[in-house]
Amino acid sequence: MIPSHLMSRLMERYAEPQRHYHTWAHVEALLAHYRKWVRYFQRPGPVLWALYWHDAIYDPQASDNEEQSARLLEKEAAGLLSPHDVTFAARLIRATATHTIPDDLPTADAEDLALFLDLDLSILGAPEEVYDRYEQAIRAEYAFVPEDAYRAGRSAILKGFLDRDRLYFTDIAHADWDAAARANLTRAIRALEQG
């Protein structure tokens, strides 16, 4: 159980004015998926902490948000989780920087990380209207980027996902979200390229 004072501080962080997508609503959306699939996690406790803290630090102009969020979790979870679980939760957060699974993880931890990363990309497979609001919110977070540069950069990011053989690591996420995600990404890329 996460203490109420930590939860209150987290909610304040997720309410910061620079956030439009990376808000408490994003956390709640991931929590809904977590609850649906919690039985698939080997270590649901540290996964839940990582879910809450994974975007705790969010500055669209910074390049180390994941690292800073992981460090914050390490500080705030100390004494509340075992050192082993704190380390794992922080590792889950750090993995969101690249959305890849390191080769050195034990199988059970790698499976938990795979599903955690899939949850983080669940928005890609959302219904069209939800996905379109997501794209608008991301644009608002990057309002400081000139339009042409934003369209080029965002297109490259979305094409990177679309070019993957599999968008989602796990079979359950792949089955639920892959087709919708590919349709959303294709549509978003087309809109960005057309301006």
CA 98 to chain centre: 11
Task: Report phi then psi at 161, rounded to 5.
Answer: -70, -45
Summarize the confidence of residues 107-112 as an average pLDDT.
Answer: 97
Q: What local confidence, expressed as pLDDT, does residue 1 receive?
A: 80
Task: Give the residue among 52, 33, 183 at the shortest CA–CA distance from 121.
Answer: 33
37 and 69 part of one domain: yes
Cα–Cα distances in Å, from 102 out to 96, 98, 110?
12, 10, 8
| Statement to judge: residues 79 and 137 lie in one domain | no
Per-residue model confidence (pLDDT) at position 22: 97
Residues 102, 41 share a domain: yes
Evaluate whether 158 touches 185 at the Cβ level (below 8 Å): yes
Q: Is the pLDDT of residue 80 over 90?
A: yes
Residue 96 has pLDDT above 90, yes or no: yes
Position 138 confidence tier, pLDDT thresholds 50, 70, 90: very high
Asked if residue 87 and residue 44 are part of one domain, the reply reads yes
Backbone angles phi, psi at 105, to 5 degrees: -85, 140
Please provide the DSSP assignment of 88-126 as one string: HHHHHHHHTTTT---TTS-HHHHHHHHHHHHHHTGGGGS
Closest CA to 122 of 3, 24, 22, 26: 26
**Predicted structure pTM score:** 0.95
pLDDT confidence band for 195 (50 / 70 / 90): confident
Residues 116 and 147 placed together within one structural domain of the fold: no
Same domain flag for 108 and 137? no
Do residues 160 and 177 both lie within one domain? yes
The span from the CA of 193 to the CA of 68, in Å, is 33
- CA–CA separation, 178 vs 165, rounded Å? 11
